[in-house]
Homo-oligomer: A and B are copies of this chain.
Amino acid sequence: MMKRIAVFTSGGDAPGMNACIRAVVRTAVYHGIEVYGIMRGYSGMIKGEFVKLDSASVANTIQKGGTILKSARSQKFLTKEGRQEAFDQLVNHGIDGLVAIGGNGTFTGATIFEQEFGIPTVGAPGTIDNDLYGTDYTIGYDTAVNTALEAIDKIRDTADSHDRCFFVEVMGRDSGYIAIPCAIGGGAEIVMIPETQMSTEAVIANLKTSWERSKTSFLVVIAEGEEEGNVHAVAQQVKAAIPQLDTRVTIIGHIQRGGSPSASDRMLASQIGIAAVEGLMNGMRNVMAGIVDRKLVYTPFADTIHKKKMINQSFMRMVEILSV
């Protein structure tokens, strides 16, 4: 039986992480379980940065962006020695189980840790990328999409005023989950995502056709990683091929990670936070709590890590029809 658990956030921060922490804490309190927060993920676990939490600790946090427990990368947790230190800290603090809010990097660490030391972890999918198998949506995804889309709406104002072609980069190194609703919701002519590998030649051909039909302002949405995109390269090639186009580049960037979570992210984070604690209470370990088709499911970390969540192919057809 669980007497004392700990919760931490790891990996890139996402809106709704605080709502999830709050749900974990209050569910623990509700069930008479003590709960600690671990600062800065595995790094703080090793260093012993533990904070006792109660119901009041998480008051007025559900609407806050970022994570009050902070997040950090830990090289040391990749080593056996580091994990031993982390385990010692957990034992010292009397922790029986963990709730890990993060993505596959976080869950991989938790899996190894459980194999070595037997500490059970239930995961919560906290990442704006939405590319986690085992849940329809990840915590933070809906907010990130809305943030990017609001930025795109503003860009559309200026694109239309100046008859320009804007190339807008949104986050998504490995998937088009953010780019697709941004493109459809932003009224984009074209979307470039990792899954389809549209060539720049195809982009040029499409824009040329539209230009000849006397369309004058354009929006191309491109999914890229956090650090650096090739959006500039695409824009330059297009400009070279269609010199009369007045091209501009905007990278939405890190604002996609921040901001107050949307209603739907607060709901999701709350549901999953409750489910994570009650999962631990029911003896679960090495699983992630998620919502699939509006039902709560627990998916083994092995599956969230190795199975791929496929993007709905019909969305590409939507972009084509809607930009007619």
Q: Which residues of A contact B (CB under 8 A)?
A: 9, 13, 15, 17, 19, 22-23, 26-27, 29-30, 40, 55, 59-60, 62-67, 70-72, 136, 142, 145-147, 149, 151, 153-158, 160-163, 166, 181-182, 184-187, 248, 250-251, 253-255, 257-260, 262-264, 266-267, 270-271, 274, 293-294, 312, 318, 321-324
- A-B contacts, 19 of them at CB < 8 A, read A13-B162, A15-B157, A22-B322, A29-B324, A30-B321, A60-B156, A62-B185, A66-B161, A67-B161, A71-B162, A149-B266, A154-B257, A154-B259, A156-B258, A157-B258, A158-B258, A250-B253, A250-B255, A270-B322
Given contacts A71-B162, A160-B66, A257-B154, contact A270 B318 (CB under 8 A): yes
Report whether A163 and B270 are in contact in the complex, using a CB–CB cutoff of 8 Å: no
How far, in angstroms, from A59 to B251 measured CA to CA in the complex? 24
Residues of B within 8 A of A259 (CB): 153-154, 157
Given contacts A22-B322, A23-B322, A318-B274, contact A260 B153 (CB under 8 A): yes
Report whether A262 and B161 are in contact in the complex, using a CB–CB cutoff of 8 Å: no
Given contacts A13-B162, A250-B253, A251-B253, contact A266 B184 (CB under 8 A): yes
Q: Which of B23, B142, B161, B312 contacts A263 (CB 8 A)?
A: B142
Given contacts A13-B161, A71-B162, A254-B158, contact A26 B62 (CB under 8 A): no
